[in-house]
A = this chain, B = another copy of it.
Amino acid sequence: MKLILAVIQDKDSNRLLQALVENNFRATKLSSTGGFLKSGNTTFMIGTEEIRVERALQIIKENCKHRDQLVAPISPMGGNADSYVPYPVEVEVGGATVFVLPVEQFHQF
């Protein structure tokens, strides 16, 4: 048994949870803030047999990995037109910091 702690961005949270459940992993979400990633993050706690650790890591990577996203420009409604950027902007989203911890005992009561 291993315990996987994954700190991910909030916006990837629902997608990751769904992918984990579809693959028969069970996860608990802990409220967390800042630090490893920019603010607005969630810590997943996933308990799994050692043989399935690689699969869990693969799912986390697929659903949370760092990528650059183009964001369409927003019209300066009543804002300062000087700061208006008339072309798409690249924004970094996603990312996951993951720890796999050894477990000495596992129980379900």
Contact = CB atoms under 8 A, between A and B. Distances in A.
A28 B3 contact: no
A104 B103 contact: no
A66 interface: yes
Range for the number of chain A residues in contact with chain B: 35 or more
Given A101-B103, A102-B101, A26 B35 contact: yes
Contacts of A2: 104
Interface string A1-45: 111010100000000010000000011111111111000010101
Contacts of A66: 109
A45 B47 contact: no
Given A30-B31, A96-B107, 12 more contacts: A28-B97, A29-B34, A30-B43, A31-B31, A31-B33, A35-B45, A36-B47, A95-B109, A97-B107, A98-B108, A99-B103, A99-B105
